[in-house]
Chain A
Amino acid sequence: MAECAADISALHGRCIEAAPNYDIEPDAFRAALRAAVEKYLVDPQAQSAPTPDQIRQFIGELQVTDLYLALACARGNEHAWWEFDQSYRRYIERIARHLASAETDAEEVIDSVYVELYGTRVVNDVRQSKFATYTGRGTLRGWLRTVVWHAVIDLHRARRDEVSIDDWSESGGEVRDRPGWRAEARGGEGAMVERVARERYREATVSALDTSLATLDDHEKLLLLYYHVEGLKLREIARLVEEPRSPLRRWFQRQSKRRISVPDSRVHESTVMRWLEKVYGKVLERFRSELKETSGLSADEIELCVEMATEDLAPEDVRRHLTDAPAEQ
């Protein structure tokens, strides 16, 4: 950071010129930039510390006027609040009205956001303004969108004494129990052999799928998770990677010779589908190889496992199929 002192001073000078009434001292400005660098550029798992050039580039990419405004608002500066209110109140209102439901009143959301931004808790004589958590790495607008979204969720939760079990499990909180399930063994000897064989294939299939998914890169895993678990549509994923600098986009573009020549072109839904299909290809290749080499299955058995994998492989469901079989009289 010390090697970037001149860059930081220049940025501070520009901010003062644009907003002379905000009264942010150089030390406070420097501390905010240092906090941003430490938050995003210093990865505890990375082997090396960021270089001065990396820090310089990072600082140069900060939304520094947004950060300056947020710092002044965190201190309760009236000029800054006036500017903030003029520039962002309508945006906050728009998101709040878009998200508000019958249970959460938009006006209440807006009020709650303003209160949180101002801060109502005092710790060591310092009011804890939400603005102090904004680093300037993204836009203030994007940050506010997240703050409003959280406020809506908090109010929604507060309106309910507790989240119902149904809601919780729908959001992925827990696996639903299947009360109708009965695990008693049924069927004759033939059925039992079939059951044992099926269980063997089921275990091999689940294990091979787990292994093949685990070997993917985190970028590929996240893409699959967004599409298959979170249910994002292709156009929504395309929007996520719309920004040419998006790390997901750059990672997938690096895997594709075709897109490298036009890195800034728009990402269409078909591009995202292509990325997905490449990942599926990797999964299938690894899946088959796992079944063959680790489980020692034949080509026919592997096909059977692929068939099984497209059904619901949960043990409960396998057992449910068994309980549906004619019972031994």
Chain B
Amino acid sequence: MPRPKSNKESDRLRRMVHQHMGRRASLAPAAAVAGAHLDEDALAVFVEGRLSERESAPLIRHLVACASCRHITAQLIRLDTELSASDAPAPSPSAEEPGRIRRLLADLAARVLPSSEDDVVFAYHAPADDFEKKEEAKGIEETADEKGESETKEPR
């Protein structure tokens, strides 16, 4: 395959492609965009580059055709680059306040919109009896022994 002969030719070619593509939002026929946009899971997986070629083929096809999804992936790539550039050690979390998660879940559950007034459903798991005790014990331990010490847990 021939490569541009000189820097001048290369620059000219780059400008040519740039000008042309600037006016073409997509390099695929509009019909190829038919169908749903990629969801968060697919967008995130593509940006992480974890798909096999078999899995990525339909996604790449979609991204070539769909300016909207491609734009989102480009934004996510930028975000990823910016976050990694400003990677700072995470501040140590404050001591866990006993019962905080239970209150958080209760607050979230209060926002659930039932499908009808007679059909109120709270579909979250009932808390284990021993949970609060364990949480309180952990809170006390952390406050007493590890105050100020970094204990950020790496996500699994």
Q: Which of B46-76 contact A (CB under 8 A)?
A: 47-58, 60-61, 63-64, 67, 70-72, 74-76
A interface: dominant SS: helix
Chain A contributes a number of interface residues (CB within 8 A of B) equal to: 111
Interfacial chain B residues near A262, Cβ < 8 Å: none
Q: Report A-chain residues with C-beta under 8 Å of the C-beta of B102.
A: 78
**Contact call B49/A224, Cβ cutoff below 8 A:** no
- Inter-subunit contact A122/B70 (CB<8 Å): no
Residues of A within 8 A of B119 (CB): 122, 125
Of the candidates B43, B78, B100, the one whose C-beta lies within 8 Å of that of A232 is: B78
Q: Name B residues whose Cβ lies closer than 8 Å to a Cβ of A.
A: 1-4, 10, 12-28, 39-45, 47-58, 60-61, 63-64, 67, 70-72, 74-84, 86, 90-91, 93, 96, 100-102, 104-105, 108-109, 111-115, 119, 121, 123-125, 127-128, 131, 135, 152-156
Known contacts being A133-B40, A140-B155, is A242 close to B49, with CB within 8 Å?
yes
List which A56-92 residues lie within 8 A (CB) of chain B. Answer: 58, 61, 65-66, 69, 72, 75-79, 81-82, 85-88, 90-91
- Give the dominant DSSP class at B's interface: helix
Interface string of A99-137 (1 = CB under 8 A from B): 100000000000000110011111101110000011101
**Chain A interfacial positions (CB closer than 8 Å to B):** 21, 23, 39-41, 43, 45-46, 50, 54, 58, 61, 65-66, 69, 72, 75-79, 81-82, 85-88, 90-91, 94-95, 98-99, 114-115, 118-123, 125-127, 133-135, 137-143, 145-147, 149-150, 171-172, 175, 206, 209-210, 213-214, 216, 218-219, 221-222, 224-226, 228-232, 235-237, 239-243, 245-251, 276-278, 280-285, 306, 309-314
